[in-house]
Amino acid sequence: MIEAVGLTKRYGDKTAVYNLSFQVRPGAVTGFLGPNGSGKSTTMRMILGLDNPTAGQVTIGGYPYRKLPNAPRQVGALLDAKAVHGGRAARNHLLCLAQLSGIPARRVDEVLGVVGLQDVARQRSKGFSLGMGQRLGIAAALLGDPQVLLFDEPVNGLDPEGILWVRNLMKSLAAEGRTVFVSSHLMSEMALTADHLIVIGRGQLLADMSVKDFIAANSAGFARVRTPDTEPQLREKLAGALAEAGGHVLPEQDGALRVTGLPLPRISDIAHDTDVRLWELSPHQASLEEAYMRMTQGAVDYRSTIDQKAGLQQPLPPGAQPPMPVPGQGQPGWYAPPPPQPGGQPFAAPQGPYGAPGAPAAAPGADAPNPYAQQAPQAPQSPPPAAPPAPAQPPAAPAAPSAPASLTKPEDAR
């Protein structure tokens, strides 16, 4: 087990990690999540004795790493796959590590086989692709057959087959009773791989719970409701009736409505009472990504602004409309609805085309003061792009679904 107590790390006046306490237990894959610069790598380095905590401590099996007897046989880690001597053949690199730790040479060939690099074992690693480098780093972590494994972004650069392989590897290592601690920015992958999550923001603990509980605590189920595309007035009518009944209604990119705060049968009854036909009424659960975005939105240090392409773009001809978002590419700006408030009260309605005024619940921990945290840089103010003429449509979304540009939108856009 890995245990951190009051772990704090300062670099000069920058506090990278502040008062972190958590446990990583054996027999499970624990995902370590946090926005860029939130302190994940710093925490992992302290676990591995590569950095000294400014305050607090972290132990593995009760010992600080540097006091752990035969540490390389007990703990394996992939921190930076590029940290290898590129002029050395992959096998020789592993052989050096094995010899330093008293691990027999035949184990090197075993792990080369496990990570699928046996055919390139004698090639220099400087010619390796990103994914091959990751595999070599994973091989090094497995070398001592350790009980505790740490992986910092292990799927970085891997192809889909490689990602699946890492997922299965992590799960099987945990199923063998090992402690597996893995950081990743790939939420969809974490949702499939991790049993438990530790989430940090600006160096502080935001959540320590199972994936299931995390999604439940940071999001709520919602309904998708679609009225006939051919009769937009029906959609407006239903949206008004649902909002009046206490629902929170927001438009989806494909013209459907996303409704929270009302059970499906009630939505159906309201549609019936208002004489609106439905083409779709379906229950949905927010994804881990949506729940994560909601939780960490207050702890993101680096945000992009919309690219205004100063002087580089032809102005739109008079009367022309900006391009519509592409259906099926997700909708930046959509994050999980806030979790239900205690007592089953409906959510605080976000400001929106159909929502009543109000503010969504703050992400847990987002308000917790960190005396050392630095202010997130403010996005420069720039004139808003010309609004599309159709008021019922959501604002045109930036191109990349995960572009943090959407995080700069006001609360009511989420």
Sheet with 196-201: strands ordered across: 75-78, 148-152, 179-183, 28-33, 196-201, 204-210
DSSP line for 190-202: HHHH-SEEEEEET
Residue number, 38 or 253, with CB nearest to ligand ATP: 38
In whole angstroms, give the CA distance from residue 68 to residue 77.
Answer: 15
**Minimum distance from CB of 86 to ligand ATP (Å)?**
22
Angle, vertex CA 178, rays to CA 117 and CA 43, nearest 5: 85
Q: Are strands 222-226 and 280-284 parallel, antiparallel or unpaired?
A: antiparallel
CA distances to 13, 76, 132 from 284, rounded to whole Å, are: 45, 39, 38
CA torsion, ordered 159, 122, 180, 35, to nearest 10 deg: -50
Segment 280 to 339, residues that bind ligand ATP, using CB under 6 A: none
Work out how close the CB of 28 gets to ligand ATP at its nearest, in angstroms, rounded to a whole number. Answer: 21
Give the interface segment with ligand ATP, choosing from 10-18, 207-215, 277-285, 386-394 (CB under 6 A): 10-18
Among residues 36 and 168, whose Cβ is nearest to ligand ATP?
A: 36
d(CA 193, CA 7): 26
In angstroms, what is the minimal distance from the CB of 180 to ligand ATP? 18
Q: Pick left, alpha or beta for residue 375 (phi over 0 → left; psi -120 to 50 → alpha; otherwise beta).
A: beta
Residue 14 or 272 with smaller CB distance to ligand ATP: 14
Pick 11 or 279: Cβ nearer ligand ATP? 11
**Which of the 8 DSSP states describes residue 273?**
H
CA-to-CA separations, 347 to 3, 38, 89, 236, 243, in angstroms, rounded: 36, 29, 58, 21, 12
Q: Which stretch binds ligand ATP (CB under 6 A): 8-16, 83-91, 155-163, 246-254?
A: 8-16
Q: Are 327 and 391 in contact (CB under 8 A)?
A: no
Question: Which listed residue (6, 11, 232, 277) binds ligand ATP by CB under 6 A?
Answer: 11
* Residue 230 CB-density burial (10 A; 0-12 exposed, 13-18 middle, 19+ buried): exposed
Q: Least CB distance from residue 39 to ligand ATP, whole Å?
A: 4
CB nearer to ligand ATP: pick between 41 and 408: 41
CA 181/CA 167 separation, integer angstroms = 13
CB of 134 to ligand ATP, least distance (A): 15
Q: Closest approach of Cβ 296 to ligand ATP, in Å?
A: 11
Smallest separation (angstroms) from ligand ATP to the CB of 366? 16
The neighbouring-strand residues paired with 341 are 345
Q: Which stretch binds ligand ATP (CB under 6 A): 9-17, 158-166, 277-285, 364-372?
A: 9-17
Contact segment (CB under 6 A) with ligand ATP among 11-19, 162-170, 319-327, 337-345 equals: 11-19
Kindly state the DSSP code that residue 237 receives in the 8-state scheme.
H
Q: Which amino acid is at 112?
A: L
Structural tokens at position 94: 């592993």
- d(Cα 125, Cα 133) in Å, to the nearest integer? 7
Q: Which is nearer to ligand ATP, 10 or 124 (CB)?
A: 10
- Nearest to ligand ATP of 16, 286 (CB atom): 16
CA 134 to chain centre: 20
Of 12-51, binders to ligand ATP (CB under 6 A) are 14, 16, 34, 36-42
Is 83 or 392 the residue whose CB approaches ligand ATP more closely? 83
Q: In the complex with ligand ATP, which residue's Cβ is closer, 156 or 406?
A: 156
- Least distance from ligand ATP to the Cβ atom of residue 60, Å: 19
Least distance (Å) from ligand ATP to the CB of residue 372? 11
Smallest distance from the beta carbon of 34 to ligand ATP, in angstroms? Answer: 5
**Residue 8 within binding range of ligand ATP, rule CB under 6 A:** no
Closer by beta carbon to ligand ATP, 15 or else 147: 15
Minimum gap (Å) between residue 15 Cβ and ligand ATP: 8
Nearer to ligand ATP, 40 or 248 (CB): 40
How many residues in the shown chain lie near ligand ATP by CB under 6 A? 11
Q: Contact residues for ligand ATP (CB under 6 A)?
A: 11, 14, 16, 34, 36-42
